Amino acid sequence: MVEIETTAAELHWQSFGAGKDLVLLHGWGMNGAVWQQTAEVLSQHFRVHVVDLPGFGHSHQSSFTTLADLSEQVLQQAPDNATWLGWSLGGLVASHIALHHPKRINGLITVASSPCFAEQKPWRGIQAKVLKAFTAQLLDDFQLTIERFIALQAMGSPSARQDLKALKQAVLSRPEPNQQALLAGLNLLGDIDYRHQLNQVRVPTLRLYGRLDGLVPIQVAEDVAQLMPESQSYVFSQSSHAPFMTEFELFCQQVEQFIRANP
């Protein structure tokens, strides 16, 4: 696998393979290393681009304040037109780009993501007290907080132990995220609500979920289907919040099929 690596304009990018452009966006507290195995397989079919979001991994010197700010920084070095795949918080970034920069995107894939991560009954999501606790813990001991968050992402999966180990190895292989970016990311998870804008997304959309996910309850899949009736969805029966690790081969198949079906 041939790799091109750049760190211009602060953000760290890696590009692999040839063909249609595919951008992979990681989640909160993580970095682009979580996509290593995924990029290796998908780069056999596509030109895969992996970025460390501002404040994370090799982009730890950068930071952001709003979702628009975060997205603008990523777009500066991104391919002109690509399929964007975002995991968890990365799904919000990809959705923002689909809504506000439609000429830069020809397909949207969200993974274990939600247009509104915070619970707002009857909408299912992360309870406000949980998000507040994470914020308080982050200020007190941010390394322990990230470890707890990683554990939450694997919880419920039959391969939780292996998934947890793989996620921790990926995160620890690169510099620690900076605290400002971590807090800004938590604010986005608590504040952003794109539910009523989803009907404005004009590109083909695939939504991927883990049936056992404790952060994005599986009921969200049905709720978003009502908001995006033309989108496709797939539920990984054995996965929690990281289906690209738990059901890796099936995950790559779903992504490849979607991109090939939407030239």
Task: List the catalytic residue out of 12, 49, 58, 241.
Answer: 241
Q: Cβ distance 30 to 56 under 8 Å? A: yes
Q: Which of 59, 88, 95, 114 is catalytic?
A: 88
Residue located via tokens 């292996």: 162
What is the CB neighbour count within 10 angstroms for residue 200?
11
Instruction: Count CA atoms closer than 13 A to 76's CA, side-chain side.
Output: 16
Ranges assigned E (strand) in 38-122: 47-52, 82-87, 105-111
End-to-end Cα, the chain, rounded Å = 24
Give the active site residue among 15, 213, 239, 240.
213
The answer to whether residues 241 and 249 touch, using CB atoms and an 8 Å cutoff, is no
From CA 239, how far away is CA 237, in angstroms rounded?
6
Any idea which residue has 């020809």 for tokens?
A: 106
How many CB atoms neighbour CB 69 within 10 A?
A: 13
Under a CB-based contact definition with an 8 Å cutoff, are residues 33 and 170 in contact? yes
Chain centre to alpha carbon of residue 39: 14
Is there a catalytic annotation at residue 213?
yes
Omega prior to 122 cis, within 30 of 0: yes
Tokens 């709003």 label which residue?
66
Active site residues: 88, 213, 241
